């Protein structure tokens, strides 16, 4: 994954998914988010 940035003052992580975004990319992002939530509460 590339191009994921947080807000300048708030930090964090932002990702946008558009209609033309590949399904595999959505699945990869969802797996990352699930893993991150499990590790970081």
- pLDDT, block means (10 residues), the chain with 41 residues: 78 81 90 90 78
Q: In whole numbers, what is the pLDDT of the chain averaged over residues?
A: 85
Q: What is the pTM of this model?
A: 0.66
Domain range list for the chain: 5-40
Model pLDDT, residue 36: 87
Model pLDDT, residue 6: 79
Model pLDDT, residue 40: 85
How does 4-36 read in b/e, with b if 16+ C-beta sit within 10 Å?
A: eeeeeeeeeeeeeeeeeeeeeeeeeeeeeeeee
Q: Is 11 left (phi over 0), alpha (psi -120 to 50) or beta?
A: left
Model pLDDT, residue 4: 76
Tokens for 37, please give them.
């939530």
**What contacts 4, CB < 8 A, 6 or more positions away?**
13, 14, 15
């Amino acid at each position: 994954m590339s191009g994921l940035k947080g807000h300048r003052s708030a930090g964090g992580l932002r990702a946008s998914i558009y209609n033309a975004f590949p399904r595999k990319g959505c699945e990869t992002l969802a797996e990352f988010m699930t893993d991150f939530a499990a590790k970081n509460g």
